[in-house]
């Protein structure tokens, strides 16, 4: 059993009835409030969701009741702190827990919430919001823990916006200990977020060295008549303080001087201090770098996009940052790398950018893409040894499109794919964490979608091979192959490859469509992850994610009745329509897999527009890889890569059903005569 499993079924996590929640917590020396301000729990208001009463099976323990409670708490931000906290302390790994934690932090009443309850909650679940940090500081101070109160107050002070009352409380608790650096960090954050009133209030407390830049940034944001003079007064800081640079760039752009804003960002000095909000700094750079590239200002675009390192503190590991920060960082390094390699004739500079792109990536797909292009750039720079090394690193991710390309570039075959034979977990209280029991019962006491949400939580929270193996076993026990796909992908991102083969499940394909076996599986793995009831925001439904209009048209062409309700229930029906449609697209585009797959996702009309705009790779007027990269819809572009890589894997795992039999299968699917 994994360490996570052992931890989660420790005595403190045993599932108990909600009716005894207060008593249980009191036994630990904590009295939990049930309503706002410590008063008894109020009756549900009109804003609170009503969940119908459900008759539970006593043999299933307390999880069914917990599921109903989870649905209520997930659906509203109007419960008391105690109600959120009592649930989260027992089920911190259930879906929507982060949103519930944020709601709990907002619901803390600094005047009436029990300090011991608040401290116990945050000791278990650290604050996610700046308001939460402030409430933690207040509770620690009231509990007499002055040292920790000071530390939390400092974190909240540096963390940015607070309401006026919390701001005053933080200053009362620890203001005499705040340094000018703490005030610098606060004002920097407030300026960046547009909280000019708060910045103006504390700007006099900032350090003399940085204050001129803050004053100039504030004047620029407020469009003060002396703003330009204040920028001049800031001297060299005008080109090295992130908040002032951002204020100036935004002002230039809003006044129609986009060229000036780009030149400012391209010619700036190294930042004097790290950017206060990293993701927003990267977004500023990305906006202007993309605009410069679109206007053919490639040198300016490169100089803006490549300057990503001076905004971070030394030692920061980009792959550990939040997804928004990583996404903007990789977008910048990709733009810089492609611009250097393709537009400026500087492949050596491109290598460094593609390396950064790969190192910031969590997924095998993104990491291998960066490594593959680093190999391409190194080869163009004449460094064949480095090119081979990068391709070898990319090829380690052989389930990914660019890993497969690198493997073919190296003239190496696909390796064996590891898989495990997991034992089916015993779904009983005390044997597995409650989240597994909830996942098993969610469709009975909730919905199929609820169960899918629990699967995502299980895959996201798994940490070691045992955890992932338990998830795979659960997927088999419940007949939900989508959990196996989620767990396999999450495991690969965590550096665990032992169960990669388990993340390529198979389903029955109607006999009339056996020739489409590989493509159908490749599409289902990407479209729905084999979730038969999946529905996209756009309205696509079922295993092969068919839009109702496409399903109606396709059913008419093969003399099948159109049954919209069957798209998410009858898997054979969904697969028959999806398989027919992809084969129709293949015929329409003369057997070109990339064009047909792009049409399946983006529509044949769009593909025809792109062929007209960029050239037709079937005629040789443009390379297939270049054409795919030019697809303007990122969803469709990534979709082509993902479906093709899945097709190669399914052919490799099931050679008896392979659509393509070739030593270089990906190149064959691409219609390329040379590998890699």
Measured CA to CA in angstroms, residue 75 lies from 86, 452, 535, 601 at distances of 17, 17, 20, 32
> 203-226, pLDDT tens digit by residue?
999 999 999 999 999 999 999 999
pLDDT the model gives residue 13: 31
Of all residues in the chain, what percent carry a pLDDT higher than 70? 91
> Is the domain of 266 the same as that of 160?
no
Give DSSP secondary structure letters for 236-252: GGGGT-HHHHHHHHHHH
Number of domains the chain contains: 3
Average pLDDT over residues 18-26: 35
Closest CA to 436 of 61, 12, 11: 61
Measured CA to CA in angstroms, residue 79 lies from 69, 85, 98, 116, 403 at distances of 11, 10, 15, 19, 48
For residue 115, pLDDT over 90 is answered with: yes
**Contact of 143 with 116, CB cutoff 8 Å:** yes
> Is the domain of 184 the same as that of 172?
no
> Is the domain of 155 the same as that of 247?
no
Whole-number average pLDDT of the chain: 91
Examine residue 288 and state whether it is found in any structural domain, yes or no: no
> Is the domain of 126 the same as that of 220?
no
Tokens 């629990």 belong to which residue? 454
Weakest mean pLDDT among 149-158, 173-182, 311-320? 311-320
For residue 35, pLDDT over 60 is answered with: no
SS3 of residue 74 by DSSP: helix
Instruction: Report the sign of the C-alpha dihedral through residues 292, 296, 297, 298, in that order.
Output: positive
Phi, psi angles (nearest 5°) of residue 2: -70, 165
Domain boundary among 143, 178, 213: 178
Weakest mean pLDDT among 194-203, 280-289, 416-425, 513-522? 416-425
Tokens 């944001």 belong to which residue? 221
- Helices within 558-658 (DSSP H only): 571-588, 593-602, 604-614, 624-630, 634-653
Token pair, residue 373, equals 């292009």
531: CATH: 1.10.530.10
Examine residue 202 and state whether it is found in any structural domain, yes or no: yes
pLDDT the model gives residue 271: 97
pLDDT the model gives residue 54: 57
Token pair, residue 244, equals 């002032």
Residue 46's pLDDT band, with cuts at 50, 70 and 90, is very low
Examine residue 448 and state whether it is found in any structural domain, yes or no: no
Examine residue 246 and state whether it is found in any structural domain, yes or no: yes
Examine residue 84 and state whether it is found in any structural domain, yes or no: yes
Measured CA to CA in angstroms, residue 478 lies from 238, 333, 424 at distances of 61, 42, 10
Token pair, residue 280, equals 């927003």
> 227-253, pLDDT tens digit by residue?
999 999 999 999 999 999 999 999 999
Give DSSP secondary structure letters for 24-35: HHHHTT-----S
pLDDT the model gives residue 572: 97
Of all residues in the chain, what percent carry a pLDDT higher than 90? 87
For residue 49, pLDDT over 90 is answered with: no
Token pair, residue 270, equals 């190294």
Phi, psi angles (nearest 5°) of residue 159: -80, -5
Tokens 């996942």 belong to which residue? 439
Tokens 């396709």 belong to which residue? 554
For residue 4, pLDDT over 70 is answered with: no
- Helices within 11-114 (DSSP H only): 21-27, 63-74, 81-88, 97-107
Q: Which residue has better confidence, 544 or 429?
A: 544
> Is the domain of 160 the same as that of 257?
no
pLDDT the model gives residue 304: 99
Examine residue 451 and state whether it is found in any structural domain, yes or no: no
Closest CA to 204 of 190, 219, 214: 214
SS3 of residue 545 by DSSP: coil
Identify the burial level of 13 via C-beta atoms within 10 angstroms of its C-beta, where 0-12 means exposed, 13-18 middle and 19 or more buried: middle
Q: Catalytic positions, please?
A: 527
Average pLDDT over residues 584-610: 98
Between CA 614 and CA 609 the distance in angstroms is: 9
Between CA 84 and CA 73 the distance in angstroms is: 7
CA 5 to centroid of chain Cα atoms: 25
> Is the domain of 598 the same as that of 573?
yes
For residue 23, pLDDT over 50 is answered with: no
For residue 36, pLDDT over 50 is answered with: no
> Is the domain of 145 the same as that of 204?
no
Give Cβ neighbours of residue 257 (< 8 Å, ≥ 6 apart): none
For residue 42, pLDDT over 70 is answered with: no
> Is the domain of 90 the same as that of 146?
yes
> Is the domain of 37 the same as that of 80?
yes
> Is the domain of 184 the same as that of 144?
no
Query: Angle at Cα 207 formed by Cα 203 and Cα 210, nearest 5°?
Result: 85
Domain boundary among 178, 209, 239: 178
Measured CA to CA in angstroms, residue 665 lies from 213, 241, 366, 519, 640 at distances of 58, 51, 21, 13, 15
pLDDT the model gives residue 427: 77
Domain boundary among 221, 241, 273: 273
SS3 of residue 44 by DSSP: coil
| Other C-beta atoms lying within 10 Å of the C-beta of residue 609 | 13
DSSP state of 19: G
Examine residue 370 and state whether it is found in any structural domain, yes or no: no
**Contact of 604 with 652, CB cutoff 8 Å:** no
**Host domain of residue 27:** 3-178
Between CA 512 and CA 144 the distance in angstroms is: 74
Residue 2's pLDDT band, with cuts at 50, 70 and 90, is very low
| Other C-beta atoms lying within 10 Å of the C-beta of residue 642 | 20
Measured CA to CA in angstroms, residue 503 lies from 397, 472, 514 at distances of 14, 8, 21
**Contact of 245 with 268, CB cutoff 8 Å:** yes
> Is the domain of 155 the same as that of 189?
no
> Is the domain of 151 the same as that of 217?
no
> 652-675, pLDDT tens digit by residue?
999 999 999 999 999 999 998 888
CA 567 to centroid of chain Cα atoms: 28
Average pLDDT over residues 6-33: 33
Give Cβ neighbours of residue 645 (< 8 Å, ≥ 6 apart): 365, 399, 400, 401, 404, 666
Examine residue 398 and state whether it is found in any structural domain, yes or no: no
Identify the burial level of 427 via C-beta atoms within 10 angstroms of its C-beta, where 0-12 means exposed, 13-18 middle and 19 or more buried: middle
């Amino acid at each position: 059993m994994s360490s996570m499993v052992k931890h989660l079924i420790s005595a403190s996590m045993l599932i108990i009835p909600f009716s005894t929640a207060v008593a249980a917590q009191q036994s630990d020396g904590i009295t939990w409030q049930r309503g706002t301000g410590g008063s008894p729990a109020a009756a549900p208001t009109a804003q609170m969701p009503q969940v119908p009463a459900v008759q539970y099976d006593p043999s299933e323990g307390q999880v069914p009741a917990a599921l109903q409670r989870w649905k209520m708490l997930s659906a509203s931000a109007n419960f008391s702190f105690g109600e959120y906290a009592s649930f989260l302390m027992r089920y911190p790994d259930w879906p929507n827990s982060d949103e519930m934690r944020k709601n709990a932090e907002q619901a803390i009443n600094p005047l009436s919430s029990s300090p011991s309850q608040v401290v116990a909650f945050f000791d278990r679940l650290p604050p996610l919001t700046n308001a939460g940090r402030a409430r933690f500081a207040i509770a620690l101070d009231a509990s007499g823990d002055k040292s920790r109160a000071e530390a939390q107050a400092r974190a909240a002070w540096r963390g940015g916006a607070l309401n006026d009352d919390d701001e005053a409380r933080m200053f009362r608790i620890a203001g005499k200990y705040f340094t000018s650096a703490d005030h610098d960090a606060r004002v920097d954050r407030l300026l960046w977020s547009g909280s000019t009133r708060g910045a103006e209030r504390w700007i006099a407390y900032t350090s003399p060295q940085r204050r001129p830049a803050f004053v100039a940034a504030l004047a620029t944001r407020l469009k003060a008549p002396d703003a330009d003079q204040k920028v001049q007064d800031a001297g060299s800081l005008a080109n090295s303080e992130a908040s002032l640079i951002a204020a100036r760039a935004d002002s230039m752009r809003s006044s129609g001087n986009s060229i000036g804003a780009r030149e400012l960002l391209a010619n700036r000095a190294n930042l004097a201090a790290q950017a206060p909000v990293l993701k927003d700094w990267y977004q500023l750079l990305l906006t202007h770098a993309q605009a410069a590239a679109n206007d053919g200002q490639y040198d300016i675009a490169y100089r803006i996009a490549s300057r990503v390192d001076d905004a971070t503190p030394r030692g920061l590991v980009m792959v550990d940052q939040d997804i928004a920060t990583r996404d903007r960082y990789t977008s910048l390094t990709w733009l810089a790398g492609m611009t250097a390699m393709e537009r400026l004739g500087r492949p050596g500079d491109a290598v460094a950018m593609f390396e950064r792109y790969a190192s910031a990536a969590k997924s095998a797909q993104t990491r291998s893409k960066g490594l593959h292009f680093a190999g391409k750039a190194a080869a163009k720079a004449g460094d064949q040894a480095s090119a081979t090394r990068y391709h070898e690193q990319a090829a380690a991710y052989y389930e990914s499109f660019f890993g497969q390309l690198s493997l073919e570039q190296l003239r190496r075959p696909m390796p064996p794919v590891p898989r495990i034979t997991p034992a089916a977990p015993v779904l009983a209280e005390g044997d597995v964490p409650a989240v597994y029991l909830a996942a098993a019962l969610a469709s009975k006491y909730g919905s199929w979608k609820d169960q899918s949400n629990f699967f995502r939580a299980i895959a996201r929270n798994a940490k070691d091979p045992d955890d992932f193996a338990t998830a795979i076993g659960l997927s088999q026990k419940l007949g939900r192959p989508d959990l196996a796909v989620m767990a396999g992908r999450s495991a690969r991102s965590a550096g665990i490859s032992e169960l990669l083969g388990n993340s390529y499940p198979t389903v029955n394909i109607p006999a009339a469509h056996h020739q489409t076996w590989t493509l159908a599986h490749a599409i289902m793995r990407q479209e729905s992850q084999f979730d038969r009831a999946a529905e996209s925001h756009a309205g696509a439904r079922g295993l092969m994610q068919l839009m109702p209009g496409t399903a109606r048209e396709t059913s008419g062409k093969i003399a099948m009745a159109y049954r919209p309700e069957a798209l998410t229930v009858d898997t054979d029906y969904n697969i028959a329509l999806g398989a027919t449609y992809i084969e129709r697209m293949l015929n329409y585009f003369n057997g070109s897999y990339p064009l047909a797959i792009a049409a399946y996702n983006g529509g044949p009309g769009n593909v025809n527009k792109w062929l007209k705009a960029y050239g037709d790779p079937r005629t040789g007027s443009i390379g297939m890889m270049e054409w795919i990269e030019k697809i303007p819809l990122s969803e469709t572009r990534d979709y082509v890569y993902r479906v093709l890589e899945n097709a190669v894997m399914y052919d490799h795992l099931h050679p008896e059903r392979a659509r393509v039999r070739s030593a270089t299968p990906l190149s064959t699917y691409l219609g390329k005569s040379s590998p890699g």
